[in-house]
Structure 1
Amino acid sequence: MLDKMDAGNSAVAQTINDLNAGWRNQVTTVLGVDSTNFQLAQGTLGLQTSDSSGLFLMADAVPPVSTTAYFDASGKNKRSTAYNQLLHALNLSTASDLRDALGDMYSKWIDYRNDASNWKPDTTQRQLFNQFANRYLDPVVKNAGDQVFALAESEPLTIALNNFVNTSFYQEFKDSAGDPVSLPKYSGTVDAAKAAINGGGGPVTIDYNSATADTSSNGTTVHGSASGFYSIFSGGASVDFQSLNELATSSNFSIKGTIGKYGTMTTQAAQWYDGSQVSRSYNAKNDYDVWDKNSNQGDWDSFFSENGSLARRVSQLLLVSDYDLTVTSSASYSKSDYQKISTEARFGVWPFFSGTAKATHEQKFTHNEDGSFSVRYKLDKGKTQIWGATIQSAPN
């Protein structure tokens, strides 16, 4: 992960925020991206993997309120998890009938339904109820409840709940340890990324200087400061770059070079997701015909307020390929400074953090004659990286 800077050093923090804002605005201008809902992204991004698993994880991440964000898909809140909780926070139209049928056992049913340990792949709502009924209900109550469930099977919410656990809408991968992992499918795949790059634009020239950069973020949907960008240099939690951060932010940065190809790729959820249920709940604030008072899965605010778990989603990814860029810090670095950076900043130098010590791009460090420091980044043809995401607000 990126190194966290001393929160007390507000001057350095503000300079890094300005650097992030300036580079984000440069990217949106040069690559023709709509800045009103674009979020600059760095970190452990989807195309560091050889399959679509990383892309699915990134598409499933819930982005923060920020113009710039560090994306570590494994550490992000997941849209699919929040969506599942939302479904369990809503009422079926037959909810009152089921309360009447189950009586005092209704609240126990809700607790059982909301306990993920009771779920298995492809378990429908009616099957789940039968599990519960066989364990806790007498035959008369069980029969009454089953009749209600038979009537509710065609309801959109029931269908949405059943689709969420339908294994055909998930894909199996292996994690870094070789263990199987099942991920919800998205339209953004490795093949789709290749097609987006091949059909995109380029080449373009980059000539950025922080001294003259536009650092404003007025009017943007994803407003606010950086989230996760704390450092100029990144080498892991055990490496202290605080003094070098202060030195680096005392002078200007430039980024010069070319980007061979770029394009955008849509990331729509597969059929495990039903947007109509999100819209239905979003438009029914404090409506307890829609929201279930007995559920402990959340309410309108927990899902849709500014920091709600479904307040935003990734709708597109900005992809780049075949670049050759040199980042230069014009501060004057000593030989020992350079040695520390070149040996310990293994996760990168602003703004091209890789999130891991192994990245798809190559980096080469140089201590220039005037004492300044440069790092050259090259990404070969055929390789692709994610540089940002288009963020949509609920209920889109």
Structure 2
Amino acid sequence: MSATEDKMKDLNQQWYHAVVTGLDVDPETFQLAQGSTSLGGYTSQEIWDFLDVIPPATVNNYYQPGGLNRFSNVYGGVINNLNSQTDDAMKKLLKDKYVKWTQYRQDESKDPKSGEYKEDYSDFQLVKFSKWARNNVDKDIQTSGETILKQVDIVSVAVDKWFSANGKYAYTATANSLQASLNAGVSKSIQMDSETESTSTSNTWAKGSMEISQGFFSTKVSADWEKLTNSIDKESIQIKADFKQFTVLPASPLSTNAGLIEELQDYSPWYESEALLLAKNHNDKKVWRDRVPSWSDVFGSNGSLKRVITGLAFVDGISITLKLKVDIEDKHKDEFAASIKGGYFPFFSAEGEGGWVHETNFKDNGEVTITSTSQLGNPNIIGFIVKPFDEVYS
């Protein structure tokens, strides 16, 4: 680990400890959000993009949309790799025409506006089969097939819901519910002194494991960037952060139409917990097809689905004062100030993004005071509520 990485690891551990204390959140479930976490357009889709991340086993997480595992992708891979619970009976009944039926069923399922049977996914499959059977098999086979499909097949239900969502994987939290939650939120303050703040994060759910991917500044403005970072005395950093609103917004994958708020009326439920539990609890060929992903790929010791995000912690109306000791030559002060405007520890948000404004004040005694503000109406994600898969879906 380089000197810069070592310095940033200590600072991030101290900041995590200060955040947990100041916000009074549980280190057994809290993961610190770092990087640029301001909500841009403040839309429901933005919120869902965060909720859909499968979090790594670290106490902090730099959100990078293109490089993270997605719950919706893993879930879709699982349910589409399960054997239908009525497959054997339908195969025996339809014989050579079984493949044509399954292809028709999949094509029909892709339509998210499928008429009056959209609400009931068991009837959805049954109506599709009846429509197909009228033109492809005799009446007796149609009747037998309908009898088979009247049995509850949770795998087919899940696959129908998945395709009906048409790639739009909504969650129960929305932009409006976030605003309501923020309006009912409370003010909070965080204080950190690097001379006295603990660096211990061993009592967290991630056992202190930490991701270090940034220095003190968000951007490298010159070849002297690391020198500027290393010139900061990590033992003399003081932070005071005040938040006018703090709230934790719980959420889960959209699984039912019942009681949907207006914002979700145009989105089809896509998640079926019983199908995922069927997959989790049966590591055998009767349930799983012999292809990727396997049970071990998803639920094994190194599987892709160990943890899930069950909520997002938001702060809004932010005011930060950061004081530090740093030896900066006059010729580098403009460069240092420009680096601050590009974003810096611990929020890393550039000026202008999310309403952020940064000011740097140099003092003759070698101290630098940085003040940053983000006005109300620009919520920032400060953390994720992370829980083991088995605890949430059991």
TMscore range, shorter length: 0.7 to 0.9
CA positional deviation for 1:233: 0.5
Moved more, 316-325 or 88-97: 88-97
Within a 5 Å distance, the mapping from 1:147-186 to structure 2 comes to 151-152=148-149, 154-167=152-165, 183-186=168-171
Residue type at the aligned position of 2:44: S
Moved more, 361-370 or 266-275: 361-370
CA positional deviation for 1:224: 4.3
Q: Residue 207 of structure 1 aligns with which residue?
A: 191
Q: Residue 287 of structure 2 aligns with which residue?
A: 290
CA positional deviation for 1:92: 2.0
Q: 1:68 aligns with which of 51, 56, 60?
A: 60
CA positional deviation for 1:226: 2.8
Unaligned stretches of 5+ residues in structure 2: 115-120, 256-269
Q: Residue 190 of structure 1 aligns with which residue?
A: 175
Alignment check: 8 A CA contact 1:326 1:375 kept: yes
CA positional deviation for 1:228: 5.4
Q: Percent identity?
A: 23
After superposition, the Cα gap between the structure-2 partners of 1:163 and 1:11, relative to the gap in structure 1 and judged at 3 Å, is same
After superposition, the Cα gap between the structure-2 partners of 1:120 and 1:232, relative to the gap in structure 1 and judged at 3 Å, is farther
Residue-by-residue CA offset, 1:24-58 (whole Å, 9 max, x unaligned) = 11111111101111000023436222322211111
Alignment check: 8 A CA contact 2:170 2:253 kept: yes
After superposition, the Cα gap between the structure-2 partners of 1:126 and 1:207, relative to the gap in structure 1 and judged at 3 Å, is closer
For residues 252 and 102 of structure 1, the distance between their equivalents in structure 2, rounded to whole angstroms, comes to 75
For residues 146 and 161 of structure 1, the distance between their equivalents in structure 2, rounded to whole angstroms, comes to 23
TM-score (norm 1): 0.77
1:34 corresponds to 2:34: no
For residues 99 and 332 of structure 2, the distance between their equivalents in structure 1, rounded to whole angstroms, comes to 63
For residues 201 and 45 of structure 1, the distance between their equivalents in structure 2, rounded to whole angstroms, comes to 20
Query: What's the C-alpha RMSD, in Å, of the aligned pairs?
Result: 3.8
SS of residue matched to 2:303: coil
Q: Residue 243 of structure 1 aligns with which residue?
A: 227
For residues 142 and 3 of structure 2, the distance between their equivalents in structure 1, rounded to whole angstroms, comes to 63
1:333 corresponds to 2:328: yes
After superposition, the Cα gap between the structure-2 partners of 1:211 and 1:349, relative to the gap in structure 1 and judged at 3 Å, is same
Q: 2:238 aligns with which of 236, 254, 261?
A: 254
Q: Residue 174 of structure 1 aligns with which residue?
A: none
For residues 145 and 347 of structure 1, the distance between their equivalents in structure 2, rounded to whole angstroms, comes to 66
SS of residue matched to 2:378: strand
After superposition, the Cα gap between the structure-2 partners of 1:97 and 1:200, relative to the gap in structure 1 and judged at 3 Å, is same
TM-score (norm 2): 0.78
After superposition, the Cα gap between the structure-2 partners of 1:100 and 1:15, relative to the gap in structure 1 and judged at 3 Å, is farther
For residues 141 and 355 of structure 2, the distance between their equivalents in structure 1, rounded to whole angstroms, comes to 59
CA positional deviation for 1:80: 0.9
Alignment check: 8 A CA contact 1:187 1:268 kept: yes
SS of residue matched to 1:233: coil
Q: Residue 3 of structure 1 aligns with which residue?
A: none
Residue type at the aligned position of 1:288: K
Alignment check: 8 A CA contact 1:324 1:376 kept: yes
After superposition, the Cα gap between the structure-2 partners of 1:353 and 1:42, relative to the gap in structure 1 and judged at 3 Å, is same
For residues 361 and 147 of structure 2, the distance between their equivalents in structure 1, rounded to whole angstroms, comes to 70
CA positional deviation for 1:211: 2.0
Alignment check: 8 A CA contact 2:125 2:160 kept: no
Q: 1:381 aligns with which of 357, 370, 376?
A: 376
For residues 301 and 37 of structure 2, the distance between their equivalents in structure 1, rounded to whole angstroms, comes to 24
Q: Residue 176 of structure 1 aligns with which residue?
A: none
After superposition, the Cα gap between the structure-2 partners of 1:288 and 1:219, relative to the gap in structure 1 and judged at 3 Å, is farther
For residues 108 and 328 of structure 1, the distance between their equivalents in structure 2, rounded to whole angstroms, comes to 69
Alignment check: 8 A CA contact 1:259 1:324 kept: yes
Q: 2:359 aligns with which of 350, 364, 368?
A: 364
CA positional deviation for 1:106: 8.5
For these two proteins, the number of residue pairs brought into alignment is 363
For residues 357 and 365 of structure 1, the distance between their equivalents in structure 2, rounded to whole angstroms, comes to 16
Moved more, 272-281 or 262-271: 272-281
Residue-by-residue CA offset, 1:283-332 (whole Å, 9 max, x unaligned) = 22x33322222x33x12222234653322111111111222111233222
Q: Residue 11 of structure 1 aligns with which residue?
A: 3
Q: Residue 179 of structure 1 aligns with which residue?
A: none
Residue-by-residue CA offset, 1:165-204 (whole Å, 9 max, x unaligned) = 224xx7xxxxxxxxxxx632112222211222222222x3
For residues 19 and 153 of structure 2, the distance between their equivalents in structure 1, rounded to whole angstroms, comes to 46
Within a 5 Å distance, the mapping from 1:301-340 to structure 2 comes to 301-305=296-300, 308-340=303-335
CA positional deviation for 1:262: 0.9
Alignment check: 8 A CA contact 1:201 1:262 kept: yes
Residue type at the aligned position of 1:24: Y
Residue-by-residue CA offset, 1:338-396 (whole Å, 9 max, x unaligned) = 32232245441111113797233222223233233332121223432110010011131
For residues 297 and 330 of structure 2, the distance between their equivalents in structure 1, rounded to whole angstroms, comes to 51
Residue type at the aligned position of 1:259: F
CA positional deviation for 1:84: 0.5
Unaligned stretches of 5+ residues in structure 1: 1-8, 171-181
